[in-house]
Structure 1
Amino acid sequence: MKYPIKHVNDRPPQRKYLPGIMLAGICFFLMAANAQAQKIEIGAGVGGFNYRGDISPTFRFRFFRPGASLFFRYNPNQALSLRAELAGGFIGADDKHSKDPFQQVRNMSFRTTIIEGSGVAEYNFLNFQDRRFAVNWSPYVFGGIGYTRFDPNTQTGSYKTSGLVLPYGVGIKYQIRRPWNIGLEYGTRKTFTDYLDNLGGEPTSTDKFQQGDPSVKDTYFYVRLSVSYTFYKIFCP
């Protein structure tokens, strides 16, 4: 009995369709993602950090130091935005610029590096609408939670250099031309440490010039201009 000889080319051709099936699946996923694309933004900001604490008890413009950030924003609806942000920069101050005789005699200064990660919710007062021919802008308020690490240029004591912060503030956003947006924001960071300026906590010396006020925690601020890009469509080959 003779049996037919099967050639390699006689195998079922299912495999040749596999790439097409995979591509169709990817396209289906991207088409579904397109429905959510216009809700996603990525952006960057530049600005400055400032500080209030033992060496600068009040907000002073001369103590602004450079800072920058990257952020991801998700807009589930017109009134609400959710933002994750990574920021970094410097804070610093100097007693010699104070009018307080005690601070002038103390003559202390500091410079600290700040790295912060945060997640906040923004409330848009004017229901920021993402329409092609609309004038889209809105003031907003924001609040959330973050985590910061700080690195004083000269650490004179043993203390923790990281911790939780509570960011909150106000801003304004404006869509200059689809898909580009600009924004201006001012934010305060409430901290739970008294050592941003390397001077704080309970007194460790009888020298009053080496002591801070342990009853008041340090605070820092971040002011920035930002540019962001809104994704409207994901390309499917």
Structure 2
Amino acid sequence: MKNIFTYSTAFVLGLALVASPEADAQQFSKRKQYNSVGFSLNAMNYFGDVTPVTNFSSFRFGATRLGAGVSITRRFYPRLSGRFGLTYGRITGSDALAADPNDPDARFRYNRNMTFRNDIFEASAVAVVDLIENRNNYLKRPDFVPYVFAGIAGFYHNPQGLVGDNTQGLASGTYVNLADVRTEGQATGYSKTQLSIPFGGGIRYRINRNFDASLEIGWRKTFTDYIDDVGGKYAPKASLTTAAQKYFGNEITRSQTGDFAGFTGGAAGGTQRGDVGNKTDWYIVTGVTLNYILTPRIKNPKFR
């Protein structure tokens, strides 16, 4: 995917998020700090090779899947909080549904004929910056607060490919784990554990004394092009040895089975299978969160 979120931008934004003015630190005492726990219902999608158009803004709404998450947040200063979260979701993609065979720019992807799903388990740590500050305790927090966030995340993924009609003895309609199959003839399988940079924004609404609700959208810039198992070039047919390699690395392609007659190149070894250039995949999480504020313990003053 297009690298619109550069490393330098991430570095500058990170400094801006973690920096807290000295005045805030002096006026926002520890007695005003508090914790909250959140439970989220999310929608997950992705930007990558198996989308209608191979750019950052392209995704297919029909590929959206539901997910869930939990989080704990610590408010440190009037504008700044830290949040740790665990998220589960699924991303999906299908060339048959996303690519138009009559579109010259999409015809290649339709011919590729890849269909995948990928369950993603993510752990993230982000800094949350409120655009409306609260110098008081949680009881006097504003009713509406827009906010932005950025941080670091690690995720586990394991893309699976859908088996269609084949001559390799694979059960049609089943899914096969692809990370270790090496469908592009890689010397070693790609790692199922990866890092990403989460960033985004949302708006938080105060329901009552202890409950907040928020609507949030967050992008994850990953450092892999294989969350959809498509990233490089087709391997030479002779180098594919296992049934899964032969099917996903070659036979699944329509021109190899006669379903897309007249398409030149097909799945010949060395021809492009994924995006041209060093592009990485992204995924996006849109969610509604219910936060419960843990009532801080109030220490009574000691009298002598």
Could you state the TM-score of these two structures normalised by the residue count of structure 1? Answer: 0.78
Find the aligned partners of 1:194 and 1:113 in 2 and give their Cα distance: 16
In structure 2, the residue matched to 1:195 is: 226
Contact 1:195-1:218 at 8 Å conserved across structures: yes
Find the aligned partners of 2:94 and 2:158 in 1 and give their Cα distance: 17
Per-residue CA distance 1:73-123 (angstroms, 9 max, x = gap): 000122111100010110011001222222222211100010110100011
1:115-130 equivalences in 2 (<5 Å): 115-128=121-134, 130=137
Q: What one-letter code is carried by the residue in structure 2 that aligns with 1:42?
A: V
Could you state the TM-score of these two structures normalised by the residue count of structure 2? Answer: 0.61
In structure 2, the residue matched to 1:139 is: 146
Contact 1:150-1:162 at 8 Å conserved across structures: yes
Matched, 1:231 2:238: no
Find the aligned partners of 1:235 and 1:76 in 2 and give their Cα distance: 17
In structure 1, the residue matched to 2:241 is: none
In structure 1, the residue matched to 2:61 is: 61
Find the aligned partners of 1:218 and 1:111 in 2 and give their Cα distance: 14
Q: What one-letter code is carried by the residue in structure 2 that aligns with 1:224?
A: G
Stretches (4+) displaced over 4 A? 35-38, 128-131, 207-210
Query: How far apart are residue 174 of structure 1 and its match?
Result: 1.0
SS at match of 1:90: strand
SS at match of 1:62: helix
Q: Which runs of 5+ in 1 are unaligned?
A: 1-34
Cα distance, 1:37–1:72 mapped onto 2, change above 3 Å: farther
SS at match of 1:71: strand
Q: What one-letter code is carried by the residue in structure 2 that aligns with 1:119?
A: A
Matched, 1:84 2:84: yes
In structure 2, the residue matched to 1:28 is: none
Find the aligned partners of 1:210 and 1:111 in 2 and give their Cα distance: 22
In structure 2, the residue matched to 1:11 is: none
Q: CA RMSD in A?
A: 2.3
Matched, 1:219 2:282: yes
In structure 2, the residue matched to 1:5 is: none
Query: How far apart are residue 202 of structure 1 and its match?
Result: 5.4
Find the aligned partners of 1:126 and 1:135 in 2 and give their Cα distance: 8
Matched, 1:103 2:117: no
Q: What one-letter code is carried by the residue in structure 2 that aligns with 1:53?
A: G
Query: How far apart are residue 193 of structure 1 and its match?
Result: 0.4
Q: What one-letter code is carried by the residue in structure 1 that aligns with 2:207?
A: I
Cα distance, 1:106–1:209 mapped onto 2, change above 3 Å: farther
In structure 1, the residue matched to 2:185 is: none
Question: For this pair of structures, how many residues does the alignment match?
Answer: 202
Cα distance, 1:135–1:151 mapped onto 2, change above 3 Å: same
Q: What one-letter code is carried by the residue in structure 1 that aligns with 2:279?
A: V
Q: Which runs of 5+ in 2 are unaligned?
A: 1-29, 101-105, 161-176, 183-188, 237-267, 300-304
Q: What one-letter code is carried by the residue in structure 1 that aligns with 2:150?
A: G
SS at match of 1:144: strand
Percent identical among aligned pairs is 32
Query: How far apart are residue 130 of structure 1 and its match?
Result: 4.8
Find the aligned partners of 1:208 and 1:36 in 2 and give their Cα distance: 63
| Pair member with larger Rg | 1
Contact 2:75-2:81 at 8 Å conserved across structures: yes
Query: How far apart are residue 52 of structure 1 and its match?
Result: 0.7
Contact 1:38-1:232 at 8 Å conserved across structures: no
